[in-house]
Amino acid sequence: MTFKTLDDMDLDGKIVLTRVDINVPVEDGRVTDTTRIDRIVPTIKEILSKGGTPVMLAHFGRPKGKPVLEMSLRQVVPALEAALGRDVIFVERPDRATLEAADGPVLIENTRFSPMEEANDPKMAQFLASLGDIYCNDAFSAAHRAHASTEGVARLLPSCAGRSMEAELTALDAALGTPKPPVAALVGGAKVSSKLDLLGNLVTKVQHLIIGGGMANTFLAAQGVNVQKSLCEHDLLDIARGIVAKAEAAGCAILLPRDVVVAAEFRADPPTQVVAADAVPEGHMILDAGPDSVAHINTLLDGCATLVWNGPLGAFEMTPFDAATVAAARHAAELTRAGKLVSVAGGGDTVSALNHAGVADDFTYISTAGGAFLEWMEGKELPGVAALSD
């Protein structure tokens, strides 16, 4: 994967169109989580320090191609100013003269207020290109969208990756592009149907595939196990068997739960039992992997050099069904801290689970890009990244 970074660009006196992701949660006009804003700060500050004028392009929500007051980026300005430690100029209708006169960072109104953005209309891409001298994409989480501000304009100006984008691409390359083997992928979550492409790609890329969560029940059922009342996609048993066959042909070993935690009802802290995966009592459902399964996962990770993690091992939102996810995550974090494992994780539930386990800061890299991270794991080309590579 080849792309230019800020190190390759002369920014002095230049207007740098900088695509950022500041699509942050807002309640009562206030930003409630600044994680995405915090991640773009290094890029914006570096552009300023090198004499450039960062002009931020971003979307907010889904206004469907027309101005919607509640989705104006104006409400994000105070949080952006607090993170940068300086004033931010907000511009609703940008023109070159206004941007040339700016004496600090600029934020342009929601790109999705125009229907031309999501249509990747060449006219909008050309208009955006006329505003700047250099294009910098620092929004990996929007890189799977072929929009005017993510893909179209990148092909019309000298382009590079911002620091957040650079870190993401470097981490992903270390995880699946050119990883150090042996590589393990841990994939959990509720349904196989939502991760068919992902599983099909991973079995050709990794040496070990650990399957957990509700999707593990479908694979167990495909082996003839009676999973009783457990969440299971019985219409996908043939597909699950096909994935197993593909893994065997590719030399990828699949690890399924050996023992499981079961309960008769799906709620927090019900009476539970730990049973063998093929001995689920009648009227019960599997809600987590058992301690023997976790021990096997941890032993497997001890022998791996790289781990890609997406999804929990059980219904981690409720106790005690967070136990397997927490235990495996903490072991992976311990190996990472010891320099024995490169660990890359991503996906909404994954970030929540690792935060819940208290180890988010110990993984090598955690991606907050939901759709883009999944499409990358599925082996799909991301238009925003391809434009930078080209």
Question: Based on the domain organization, do 135 and 50 belong to the same domain?
Answer: yes
If asked whether residues 34 and 66 sit together in one domain, one would say: yes
Least confident of 87-91, 118-122, 293-297, 349-353: 349-353
Looking at the structure, tell me whether residues 215 and 348 fall in a common domain.
Answer: yes
- Per-residue confidence at 349, pLDDT binned at 50, 70, 90? confident
* Distance (Å, whole) CA 129 – CA 133: 7
Mean pLDDT on 147-167: 97
* Inside any domain, residue 167: no
The pLDDT tens digits of the residues spanning 168-199 come to 999 999 898 899 999 999 999 888 998 989 99
- Residue 336 inside a domain? The answer is yes
| Burial class for 158, CB neighbours closer than 10 Å (0-12, 13-18, 19+) | middle
Active site members = 36, 191, 348, 371
Do 148 and 250 belong together in one domain?
A: no
Both 186 and 158 in one domain: the answer is: no
Q: Where does a domain end: 130, 162, 194?
A: 162
**Among residues 162, 192, 211, which one ends one of the domains?**
162
Task: State the Rg of the chain over Cα.
Answer: 23
Owner of token pair 């079995």: 203
CATH no. for residue 188?
A: 3.40.50.1260
Q: Provide the pLDDT confidence category of residue 110 given band limits of 50, 70 and 90.
A: very high
Annotated binding site for (2R)-3-phosphoglycerate: 36, 112, 145
Q: How many CB atoms lie within 10 A of CB 299?
A: 10
Q: What percent of the chain clears pLDDT 70, i.e. is strictly above it?
A: 99
Quote the percentage of the chain above a pLDDT of 90: 89
Q: Which residues are annotated as a binding site?
A: 21-23, 36, 59-62, 112, 145, 195, 317, 347-350
In a domain, 135, yes or no: yes
Question: For 9-57, how does the pLDDT look when each residue is reduced to its tens digit (9 = 90+)?
Answer: 999 999 999 999 999 999 998 999 998 999 999 999 999 999 999 999 9
Same domain, 120 and 197: no
Binding site as annotated, residues for ATP: 195, 317, 347-350
Is the same domain home to 83 and 132? yes
Annotated binding site for substrate: 21-23, 36, 59-62, 112, 145
Q: Are residues 49 and 189 in the same domain?
A: no
Please state the domain count of the chain. Answer: 2
| 195 within some domain | yes
Contacts of 86 (CB under 8 A, 6+ apart): 104, 105
| Count of H-run helices and E-run strands, the chain | 14, 17
Cα 199 to Cα 192: distance, rounded to the nearest angstrom = 9
Last residue of a domain, one of 135, 162, 189: 162
170, part of any domain: no
If you average pLDDT over residues 120-142, what whole number do you get?
97
For position 1, what pLDDT does the model report? 66
Residue 173 lies inside a defined structural domain of this protein: no
Residue 247 lies in a domain: yes
**Co-location of 154 and 234 in the same domain:** no
Mean pLDDT confidence for 373-379: 89
Indicate whether 233 and 287 sit together in one domain: yes
Tokens 């230049």 belong to residue: 14
383 part of a folded domain: no
Lowest-confidence segment of 110-124, 147-161, 183-197 by average pLDDT: 183-197
Q: Which domain holds residue 46?
A: 6-162
One domain, residues 214 and 327: yes
Residue 37 identity:
I
221 and 355, same domain (yes or no) = yes
